[in-house]
Structure 1
C-alpha cells in the first residue's frame, strides 16, 4: 500500500475520488450483501476510510490530470479519460494519456 501512496503525487485526492466512485456503485447495489461486508472490512482496517466514508461524497469518473512518480520513467502528468459502455453505465474504461509536456 505504501508504494501506491508514493506513486500518486496527490494520493489523497485520487483516493477520495475513487471512494466517491465506490459510493456511487454502492448506492446502486445496496441490496448486495457484499458491499456491506466490504465496507465493514475497510472500516476495520483503515482509519482514513472510516473518516472519509462519513463524508458521504458521491462521484463519477476521475477527470482532469493526475501526477504519478513512475519507478523507471520518473514524474509524469497524465490526463484521465473515462469511457462507458452504452449498454451498461456501470462498466467503464479509464485511459491515462500523457499531457502535452510529457509526450515523447
Structure 2
C-alpha cells in the first residue's frame, strides 16, 4: 500500500511539473540596477587612485584602521558610512557600509 501511495504521489508531481508553464511559474526575477542599490547622492567617497594623504585631507582621520596585511599590502580605513581599501598608499576601492 505504501509503494502505491509513493508511486501515485510521484506520478501526480510529474504531471503537475509537465503541465506547468515554463516561463517563470515558480519564481519572479527582481532586478535592481546597481546604481540605485545605495543612496550615493548624500555621501561622497574616495575615488580609485587617490592617495592616503588626500583621503585624510578630504575626509579626516578614519575611525578605525586595519592592516596592512598580505603582499601587496592591503589596508582598510573605516569611516562612519564607508570603508576605503588601499593597496600601498593608493585607494583601490571604497564601499558603503550596510545601513542598519
Q: TM-score, normalised by structure 2?
A: 0.25
Q: Which has the higher contact order (CA 8 A, sep 6+)?
A: 1
